[in-house]
Amino acid sequence: MKKVVVGMSGGVDSSVAAILLQKKGYEVIGLFMRNWDTSVNGDFLGNPDLNNDICPQEQDYNDALAVCNKLGITLHRVDFVKEYWDYVFEYFLSELKNGRTPNPDIMCNKYIKFDMFAKEAFKLGADYIATGHYARIKDGKLFRGIDLNKDQTYFLSQVSSEQLKNVLFPVGELTKDEVRKIAREYDLITANKKDSTGICFIGERNFKKFLENYLPNTPGNIVNIENGEILGKHIGLMYYTIGQRRGLNIGGTAERLFVVKKDLKKNILYVAMGDENKYLLSTSCIVTDLNLLDELPKECSAKFRYRQADNTVNVELLEDGKALVCYPQGVKSVTEGQACVFYNANECLGGGIIETVLK
């Protein structure tokens, strides 16, 4: 009997992944990752909905344990607090300092879930590892999950082909509704549990209060890029991203204002009016840290943000693991630090990190 170690997160997706693997005849073992130490790194600030008697990660562990007990699965626990800090959180802070918009979930998959976790799983004798990601692997290639609204291949774009060997994504063939239905049929504690949001493994927090623990606030001017008018004050450039409209706290204007540029040297947040304004559009970008899972054609599609529609792009491979990605039709709010992920229909070809946006 083949042995599968499942990353049990305390959520419904990994719970159902374990059920599906049991039904297929695998020997299933659970492994819970502890990646954030609230006692050292501050509590779950600014969220009145959370129970202050127990931190969210401990609640997740308790939920994972309850599921495993119900399914007759042994649950192990492993501590990656230092590794998460070194490989994910410090990267996150560094990118914010440099005025970029990082995606820590992508780095968490690369360095923690499909590296550190996998090594621990194979110590337990695993033939395969499995997670609750909405994705599929066919013939060694990575494909979007059946539920396109929940597809998570964007976040797997920095995981290498080697790391994806011996990986199973059991819920990738299901919709979220089908997953919850199975969990309810088994009367699991996670069946109706809300999906996790916020920073990977850190969770839902008041973002401003949380970051104040690690990066100093440096307020500055919000300036209309078209006429130089000072419209208000920002609370620190790290709290804003290109294309952002909400949370600017600028009154007295009839048109919508969007963040279009951040000047770190002058500590200025530039905004412009109008949804389709020229300052948000770009036609090409330089992508670095390329991780290719399959051959990359000169023309394919790409996502520049998780919830963004696919965009037709032309790709020219450069030296040093970089690529020039062109989209002459123009795309709004392509942002340095975010991922550019390539697709051929539903196959994920890999991706990289947006280094420079070209107008």
Instruction: State residue 83 phi and psi, 5-degree precision.
Output: -65, -40
Q: Within a 10 A sphere around the Cβ of 79, how many other Cβ atoms?
A: 11
DSSP calls for 33-93? EE---HHHH---TT-TTS-TTS-HHHHHHHHHHHHHHHHT--EEEEE-HHHHIIIIIHHHH
Pair type for strands 299-303 and 141-144: unpaired
- Alpha-carbon gap, residue 212 to 32, rounded angstroms: 29
285 in active site: no
200 in active site: yes
In degrees, to the nearest 5, what angle opens at C-alpha 157 toward C-alphas 123 and 160? 45
Cβ neighbors of 161 (< 8 A, separation 6 or more) are: 140, 293
Q: Of 55, 108, 340, 348, which residue is the catalytic one?
A: 108
- Alpha-carbon gap, residue 171 to 178, rounded angstroms: 9
Cα–Cα distance list, 20 to 6, 15, 141, 151, 172 (Å):
11, 9, 21, 18, 11
Q: Is 144 left (phi over 0), alpha (psi -120 to 50) or beta?
A: beta
In degrees, to the nearest 5, what angle opens at C-alpha 155 toward C-alphas 124 and 35? 45
Tell how far CA 335 is from the center of its chain.
15
Q: Of 55, 68, 200, 340, which residue is the catalytic one?
A: 200
Tell how far CA 29 is from the center of its chain.
25
Residues annotated as catalytic are 108, 200
